[in-house]
Structure 1
Amino acid sequence: MEVLRTARLRLRWFATSDAPQILELLNDPGWIANIYDSEVRTEAQAVEWLKLRLMARYWHLGYGFWAVERLKDGQFLGLCGVIKRDGLDHPDIGYGLLTRHWGQGYAREAAAATFEYCRTVLGMRQVMGTTGPENLASAKVLLAIGLQDQGVHQTQAHEGLSRVFEWTDPRPADDMADLAALRLRWRDALTRPDRACTFSACVTPEVSARWATGREDFSESAYRALVRQYAGQAEDPDLQAVPTPLGWRFHLP
């Protein structure tokens, strides 16, 4: 499922067919040095890693880490996106590209588009980013797209120290505006095929967990089938919206 495009890139959902590409990425020296060693060494392990670490989040959150492809030839470059990690107060932008594609501005382009998507499509009011304290290249990317350096901290999401970056919407909180934006996102998710991927971002974590917990099939076709089940509620004025740590969400029966 395509999420967004830039001048040179396409960001889309991962699928189990991406196992060879993700296996290469997870064993790339740059990934291991700057992110971590997942100890994924076979395609079978890569499939399970894809399901649990990437694809399940689309169902739980309505967003996640997406495959980054070059538009001109479909070449797989790496991943980029936004997730909500345990141990961090707000969703954070992350990325990792194969070493051979470094130095061409792809990380900045993908991260900038992700940041814009967070604000304008997902309605996020606070976004974070973290890097290793010595990872100056990633720090430059986060600063360039508009996040502010908050210094080096020990977060609950990481074993070692991290340099933390953050952006907060300068506009005052407005519940009425946020609720109106939620209803618009809900309608778009149910009526626009290109926005179906945001469906889970419209509901409470309890509801999305009900859909995802114990599931084996995290495919795009299964997700779109779920969206179709709710199509008749696109304009339902009686849906109950409740505040959550991620903003206003619908709590569906």
Structure 2
Amino acid sequence: MDYHSFETERLILKPTGIEDTEFIFQLLNSPKWIQFIGDRNVRTSDDAKIYIQNRMLPQLEKCGFSNYTVIQKEDQTKIGTCGLYSREGMENIDIGFAFLPEFEKKGFAFEAASKLLYEAKNTFKINHLDAFTTKDNYDSQKLLEKLGLKKSGLIRIPNDDEELILYQIEL
């Protein structure tokens, strides 16, 4: 199947694949990923490859969307991820993002997530999106609000003990 990639002024968003193993290994072990998203026990490149094979590719094959590797157009550097996620036990698709520390505070997450909001509605025909963040991840909360999502309460997602803030948007 031919999966969609998307472009913005500065970025390319392409479905994450096995070729992104080293980047995913680096991102999943970055301090903010571990602090705010959680330790995924990805300790080696082989673990990262298995993570992509088991967590990202099956959803891409099933839904046509999943995790996207965000690449800077100017130099082809992989800088982060942004994705639409169908989580087991959750009613709605959620949007999420994570960037390497050196690429934060440059507008890349807003640019990538804005594009995915547009594509969620227009390409994938999704009418409602959720997003979750920890209570202490203020940067993520600010970005979700800038994207137009509204805080709608607290939630626990399956297989996670922590109570998270739920954000929602109608597209």
CA contact (8 A) 2:59 2:86 kept: no
Q: What CA deviation, in whole Å up to 9, does each residue of 1:96-145 have, x standing for no partner?
A: 11111111111111111111110111111111111111111111111111
Aligned-residue CA RMSD in angstroms? 1.4
Richer in strand (by share): 2
Q: CA offsets, 1:143-194, max 9 Å, x none?
A: 111111112233436321111011124xxxxxxxxxxxxxxxxxxxxxxxxx
Distance 1:18 1:156, change over 3 A: closer
Distance 1:60 1:85 in 2: 12
Match of 2:169 in 1: 167
8 Å Cα contact 1:88-1:157 kept in structure 2: no
Give the AA of the match of 1:3: S
Identity of aligned residues (%): 26
The one-letter amino acid of 1:5's match is E
Number of positions where the alignment pairs a residue of Structure 1 with one of Structure 2: 169
TM-score, normalised by the number of residues in structure 2: 0.93
| Separation in structure 1 between the aligned mates of residue 157 and residue 85 of structure 2, nearest angstrom | 16
**AA aligned opposite 2:10:** R
Q: Which runs of 5+ in 1 are unaligned?
A: 170-253
For 1:169-184, what aligned pairs fall within 5 Å after superposition? Answer: 169=171
Match of 1:52 in 2: 54
- Give the letter for the 2:118 counterpart: E
Corresponding residue for residue 104 of structure 2: 102
Q: Distance in 1 between matches of 2:133 and 2:126?
A: 21
Which structure is larger by alpha-carbon Rg, 1 or 2? 1
Structure 1 residues 77-116: aligned runs within 5 Å: 77-116=79-118
SS for the counterpart of 2:27 is helix
Q: Deviations over 1:22-44 (max 9, x none)?
A: 11111111111111111111111
- Structure 1 counterpart of 2:39: 37
| Native 8 Å contact 1:78 1:97 kept in 2 | yes
- 1:2–1:10: 8 Å Cα contact kept in structure 2? no
Residue 2 of structure 1: how far off its partner (Å): 5.1
The whole-number CA distance in structure 2 between the counterparts of 1:155 and 1:26 is 19
Aligned equivalents of 2:4 and 2:43: distance in 1? Answer: 28
Q: Is 1:142 aligned to residue 138 of structure 2?
A: no
Alignment deviations for residues 8-60 of structure 1 (CA, whole Å, 9 cap, x no partner): 11000122121111111111111111111111111111111111111221101
Aligned partner of 1:186 in structure 2 is: none
